[in-house]
Each structure stands twice: as structure tokens, then as C-alpha cells.
Chains A and B, each alone.
Chain A
């Protein structure tokens, strides 16, 4: 008759044991014994999230099969994570059930490295110079060590209505001042068309303007990171973007909360004269309104008063997890995926650029990015920077602090100075301490 109590006790003990186990493994992730050096054999788990969607999965599956054929005795267990990959990786790191190889967002690389979850790729990132796009190398580095291999990269460029620009006798704007003047002209000449597609809800479309104005998001001072978004340059950049909406009214008021997809939709409907957009936005526009292919053109991004047109290099890196027990096979599979002939078919299917210099050059000169519409993206690729490589950057991104600051300026809730000062303190709180 004591049995039910026993089982209850057992259940409780089991629960706490499981919890204890989770904790133990969470803390002990870095105590994994290094894999026995050498043989490429056995199974590895490979996880991939976005941008590997339904359209790209068959290509990856085929590559895995090719790899298994080329290396008898190996087995690649693929798992596709979709859009929620970041949380899946974090829970797997906390739970100690990591894959061997993973395709991770480039801004997550320092974060996972900071969690002691990733295997170092290069002790000296300088050895990677010239092999990969520089900003993508930067995105893999934490404290002077590289923890991932740059895989694909996505950049933004200027998408504009060539027909409307030609009619007004305008060329693609080369500076942000020209963006303002030509957008004003386009909007005045064409009723129903907004001059510029503001995308207030997504920081990646305008945060790089801080660089264009000669400022910085954050700089390393004596080992610690210090936010620089309250510098006069950064304030001027954010004010300029906000003014496009509030003072010059070059977009509908609702654009303060627009995402890329909202601007793409408006563009496809013929309501936008020009916007900053990635190659994926361009794809969306053309999918929604194919006849627009004749009317639009792309150009590298305009430069700011700081004399550069640098933008953010989005993209993904391939990482090997520390908890992997078959690192030899993992490394050999990563090498296999990085071969130009294996890399380009995947990046082409995604519609992004490959992150290796060789493959990028091939795509620009003769590949899928050699067409007039996409060439601007390949040309923009070298003019990119990475966000501060700090393990805690995810806090800044996740809370929407940057978007909140821009919206506070747009809504007039705060002066640009006050909003940027608050943002700087939030960034400092997130990435300042080590």
C-alpha cells in the first residue's frame, strides 16, 4: 500500500533529477572531452534554420547524400529548424543536446561562442582574410578567436523605379541628400506614389546610416564595449531618417512600424518610388508584381556625410559545436559544404551571396548576381560592416531597443538627443560589462 507514495516520490525525484541533470549539463557543456583526433567516419547531426527553407532543403539533402557517398561510413542526420532556430539552439545549448554542425545567423555567432558552445575555427582570424568577405569574418570573432565559417551573406542596396526617375530626368541617388531631393521630386510628380519607403519597424534598414554619417554603434575601449549611438553623427543619421517620414512626409505615417515586407508590398503596388531593400525584398516585389521587372532598377546604397555607403552584412555562418563527439567528420563536412561548387547552388537558391571571395566573384561576373538587377548587390557586398561582435548583442536586438528609439524620435515622444542617450545607456547595459 506504500506503492503510490513510492511512485510519487519516484516521480518527484525523477523530476528533480532531470532538472539537476539539465543544470549539470548546462554548466558542464565546456567540459566535453575533445574528440579523438582523426577518422572521418560515423554519424553527425547537422541543423539548419532560416534561410534554408522548403525551397533550399532538397539541395542540402542532395549535398548530404553526395557527402555520404564520397565518405563511406559517414552519416549526416539533417534537421531543419525553420524560423525559430535561435531559440532551438539556445535550449539545446542549455540542455546539452547540441548538434555537430549548425548553420547559425551571423549575429548569433559571438553569442553562442560566449556561451562556450562553439569550437574555435581559427585562433587568428587574420588567417581567414581574403578567403571570406571581411565583415563576415568579423561576425565570427569573439575576443580575437574565430568561432565559425562564413557561409552566405545578404546585403541591402537601393531599389528604385527607373521609369519614374527617367521621366524626371534623375539618376540613381549617390548620396542621402540626393535621396531626399529625388524622392521629393518623384512624390510631387506622381500622385499616389510615396517618395521613399521608410521601414521604421526594422533596424537593419537604417541602423547602418550611423556608419554613413561617420559614427559608430559601439567601440571597444580598454577591453570593454562602449555605445556610441549618442554621438552627434549617430543623432544626425537617425534624425535624417526620421525627418524623411515626419518632416518631408515621403512615406505614409504608418511606415513608422513597417517591416521590409510592408514596404515591398507597397512597392509592388506601385506606391513607392525608391527603397532600401535586400535581394530577398527584390524577389518579393517581383513575385508580387512580375511586370515591374521592366520598371525598376537597383544601385549601390547612397553615401552619407561620412563618405561611405557601408551597410550591414547579414548572413549565416557554419559552426561546429563543442559538444560534438565526432569533430573530424564535422570539420570535413563543413569543408565539403564550403567548396564553391557546393556552396553556390545553395546560396543561389536562397537568393543571397556566397560569403567566400572566390564564389562571390564567380557569382558577380558570371553567376546569378551578374544580371543587371542583382549586380548592385554583389557590388555592395565589399562595403559592409558587422555589428559589434559581443556575446550579449542579442539583448540589444531582442528587446527592440533600437527600433523603439527610432520610433520615439518619429513620434516626437523624445528629442533625438534624449532618445539616443537612452539607447546608448541600454546598449551599454547590455554589452558594456564583460
Chain B
């Protein structure tokens, strides 16, 4: 602290070259240093460590010898991993598209804004506050073949074939149930963020569009959504990461996790199984690195898309 004040004092008296450099780089670096250290420690180190582990043997969570790309050859030679890679990607696309569309619809309703909407806003946030494991268990009950409300509802609506229908006997049906649960859980946050974005687009531009005779859809598609583009990109990235991260629902809702017979295995679940039941941290780290690279690439594409339009 003492040196800071002397530095500043020197600056006001006679701006020497050294003093200028200190102000430009020295002081900012000094002030950023603690934060950088924390970031390096909690973000940088684990990433570097994971990459490093992925090139080593890691049975029983003990780091063994360097084994080159063996872990990567192993996972890319495993048909179940490749299937999970594809499945996770399709699942993520479905999740992101439906999450964004449903969130936008909810945000528009809330934005239409009477006092009722303001109360509803709070209610809409509630699913977000729920622990994912708890919502997973509840959705599993809702889709129970014997006592579940989903089958009851479908049968009441006249779909007799859903009487005693076992959702979790089949990979596709399980994924439908899990997607509904995951989307239900991720919509609130995205919807509230979109509401904030929509609120910010109110004002002169929208007013001008209205005066020019733009209808609701024209206002939305030509004015409001383009204005929200930076936000939409961030929300897109976030919900993509959220979808790739989905783990709790898969773990809780399927028996065995990823079953029946491998049909709901996703990247996060396989990584977890490798790390904590097969106890092979090398292979698990390789899977984590693949997911990381994939997500980084997707994020880069999002960012590029947002820049192109601007």
C-alpha cells in the first residue's frame, strides 16, 4: 500500500517514463495478481491437470505411467462411447432449441406485463431453485409405469396404449422423459434472462417501429430479437453447456445409470462411471477433455455467429 501512494505521488509531481510504465502495467498487474492467482489455481490448474492425467494410466485413481494417446484410442474405439457422443449432441440440440423457444414464449407473456405477470415471474423461477436430483426423482415417479401421473394423463386423453407403459424400458422413451425433466429445470433461468433482455428493448426503437406500423411478429423478429442478439448468444452457450452437463437426471432416472442396456448413456455419465466406478482416472480424464474441446468449439461457433451478424 505504501509503495502505491508513493508511486502516485511521484506521478503527480513529475511523470517520469518509469512512473508511466508503472501506472500502465505495474499497478494493474499488482492489483490483478491475487485474482489471477485464484483463477489460475481453481480453473487453470484443474484443466492442465486433467489434460495431463488423460495421457497417463490412472487405474484406482492413482497416477501411473505416461501412456501417450492410449486413453484416447481406447475411448474412440469403444462403440458405446461413440454412441454416447452422438446421443449427447442430439440430446443437447433438442434441449437447447426447446429451452430457448419455451423460455422466449414465457418471457413474452411475462413481458406483456400486468401485475399478475410480476407475481408469476417469481413462480416461474421456482423450478430453478429445486435441486436437480430431487426433480429427477419426482419426474421418475411421474413417469412411473404403474402409478405415474404421465400415463394417467395420457390414458385420460384417450391414448389407451399408455396404460402401464414403461417409459424407462426403452432408450428413446427414457430420453423423452429425461428431456422433459431437464428442460423443465433449465427454462426458468433462461426465461427470466430473456425477460430482462426484452425489457431492455422497450423504448424509442420499439416505439418507432410501432409508429411505422410493425405488427407483433415484425417487432419481435426484426427489432427486439436482433437487439437481444448478444444476450441470446450467451444464453445459447449457457444452455448448451447445461445440456452437455446434464448428469443428475440421467443418474437418478435410469436403471442402471445409462440403461436400459446402454441406451441412455451420455458423456457426463460415462465420465463419472469411468472415474468413480471403474476407477480409471486416465480414461475419465480423456473423456472430460473430449467434452471440454467439444464445448469450447461450440462456444467458439456461437461467438463467431454473433459477431457475423453484428
Contact = CB atoms under 8 A, between A and B. Distances in A.
Nearest to B40: A12
A90 interface: yes
Interface stretch (B130-138, B178-186, B228-236, B275-283): B275-283
Given A4-B30, A26-B62, 13 more contacts: A8-B34, A12-B37, A26-B61, A90-B61, A254-B145, A254-B169, A257-B166, A394-B279, A397-B277, A400-B258, A410-B169, A411-B169, A430-B278
A408 B261 contact: yes
Category for how many chain A residues contact B? 35 or more
A403 interface: yes
A413 interface: yes
A19 B146 CA distance: 50
Nearest to A201: B255
A69 interface: no
Interface in B55-81: 60-63
A70 interface: no
Given A12-B41, A23-B63, A254 B166 contact: yes
The binding surface of chain B is classed by DSSP as loop
B257 interface: yes
Interface in A1-50: 1, 4-5, 7-8, 11-12, 15-16, 19, 23, 26-27
B33 interface: yes
Contacts of A27: 62
A37 B191 CA distance: 67
Given A253-B169, A398-B277, A407 B145 contact: no
A266 interface: yes
B37 A395 contact: no
Contacts of B276: 87, 398
Contacts of A91: 61
Given A1-B30, A407-B261, A94 B277 contact: no
Contacts of B278: 395, 398-399, 430
Interface of A: 1, 4-5, 7-8, 11-12, 15-16, 19, 23, 26-27, 87, 90-91, 94, 115, 200-201, 252-254, 256-259, 266, 394-395, 397-400, 403-405, 407-408, 410-411, 413-414, 419, 430
Contact of A253 (B63, B164, B262): B164
A398 B273 contact: yes
A405 B261 contact: yes
24 contacts: A4-B34, A8-B34, A11-B38, A12-B37, A16-B45, A26-B62, A26-B63, A94-B60, A200-B255, A201-B256, A252-B164, A253-B145, A253-B165, A253-B169, A254-B164, A257-B168, A394-B279, A398-B273, A398-B276, A398-B277, A404-B260, A407-B260, A410-B169, A414-B261
